[in-house]
Chains A and B, each alone.
Chain A
Amino acid sequence: MNPTLLLAATNPGEQIVFWVCATLAVLGALGMLLSKKPVHSALFVAFTMINLAILYVSLQAPFLGMIQIIVYTGAVMMLFVFVMMIVGVDASDSLVETIKGQRLAAIILVVSFAALLIGAIINGLQGAAAPSLDVANTVDGGNVQGIARLIFTDYIIAFEVVSAVLIVAAMGAMMLTHRERYRPKPTQEQMSRARFQRFAATGQLPGNLPPAGTFARHNAIDTPALLPDGSVAVESVPDPLQERGDTRAPSVEDITEVAEISEGESVVIEDGVVEDLGDEK
């Protein structure tokens, strides 16, 4: 047996990497399983995937490790997060199980499943040494080249098919999320008319709202802006926050300051000192 191979098998660096990353990966997976909020689950999964990427690198598959991070974690998990935004970021599961016996049966079966697999693996891989991929990685001039050669020679058909799958998937996504228009798009004149009718009916102003932050007194988006007469502009807080009731109450100093400014007083704040600039009407 080549001593370098043996060394590779028991390389202490690899051991440390393995144990650390393996533990973290399992913890991340468990975190995904047990989190209440789906966003947390997504983050845990991303964490697990990065650990797996590190393991790929330690398994002498650097290309795959990079692809894991770029494609999987970077693209796929972000896709998950986008959809969570659409669906509602705090749609959380209640932890009560609705199907009778599902949890118990699931745990029993999964544990037995894992036990059987592990038993089978240990049985099957007995005494198998772990040779290294040094030769394979260098024979074509690197790992990427090696994989490239395999993809474009031995697995060319699989490659073509997978390309077709990707195209179909993209088209499928577009088709599925396409919303068909049932009525003709309203013209500008129609929209304008509708806006003024709305103003007549409800008093809602037909014009554009000022850009976000025009009347803002603070950077936080949950602090409402104050109108010139000192009243709170409810529309300045984004709708989701409004619905959740996460609006902060404006402070009293802000209200008095706005009231003074609107009466023509100019107020300049320097170093925390309010200077009266006099009337500038």
Chain B
Amino acid sequence: MTTDHYVILSAILFSIGVTGVLIRRNAIVVFMSVELMLNAANLAFVAFARQQGNLTGQTIAFFVMVVAAAEVVVGLAILVTIHRTRRSASVDEPNLLKY
């Protein structure tokens, strides 16, 4: 398939991920949506790597994966800590920084 198709798929997955961040209240599901967005980005990188004819895109996608893993670790640790004290995993709970 032409690069278009892959990149359009990437755009669709990214949009779905964005929707998940905006709509879901459970923090874990939000994290998963972020992972989905990262994956969509990876797909775009790989598709363009094939288009360019070199492996740079794949390398970058590799790094993205590593960073995503690190990010998940830290994010979930934070979530666990919050859950220990506040017994809630909703992203709407911490809303004291408001007018």
Interface residues of A (CB under 8 A from B): 9, 14-15, 18, 22, 25-26, 29-30, 32-33, 38, 41-42, 45, 48-49, 52, 55-56, 59-61, 63-64, 67-68, 71-72, 75-76, 79-80, 83-84, 86-88, 91-93, 97-99, 102-103, 106-107, 110-111, 113-114, 117-118, 121-122, 125, 128-133, 135-137, 143, 146-147, 150-151, 154-155, 158-159, 162, 165-166, 168-170, 172-173, 176-177, 179
Q: Is B13 within 8 A of A121, CB to CB?
A: no
Contacts of A159 in B (CB 8 A): 63
With both beta carbons as reference points, the residue of chain B lying nearest to A91 in the complex is identified as B89
Main secondary structure of the interface of A (DSSP, over half): helix
Q: Report Cα–Cα, A61/B55, bound state, in Å.
A: 9
Interface residues of B (CB under 8 A from A): 1-9, 11-20, 22-26, 28-29, 31-33, 35-36, 39, 42-43, 46-47, 49-51, 53-56, 58-63, 65-74, 76-81, 83-84, 89-90, 92
B50 to chain A, nearest CB (A): 5
A-B contact count (CB 8 A): 234
Q: Chain B CB within 10 Å — which of A42, A121, A166 has the most?
A: A121
Q: Report Cα–Cα, A205/B40, bound state, in Å.
A: 57
Contacts of B3 in A (CB 8 A): 125, 128, 130
A208 to chain B, nearest CB (A): 28
Given A15-B1, A67-B65, residue A176 in contact with residue B80 (CB < 8 A): yes
Main secondary structure of the interface of B (DSSP, over half): helix
A95 to chain B, nearest CB (A): 9
Taking A52-B39, A72-B69, A87-B79 as known contacts, 7 extra A-B pairs with beta carbons closer than 8 A to each other, sorted by chain A number, are: A38-B26, A42-B28, A64-B62, A67-B62, A133-B55, A155-B60, A173-B76
Picked from B36, B58, B61, B69, the residue with its CB within 8 Å of the CB of A32 is B36
Picked from B16, B36, B80, the residue with its CB within 8 Å of the CB of A83 is B80
Given A72-B68, A97-B23, A165-B70, residue A136 in contact with residue B28 (CB < 8 A): no
With both beta carbons as reference points, the residue of chain B lying nearest to A158 in the complex is identified as B63
Picked from A18, A29, A61, the residue with its CB within 8 Å of the CB of B58 is A61
Q: Is A41 within 8 A of B68, CB to CB?
A: no
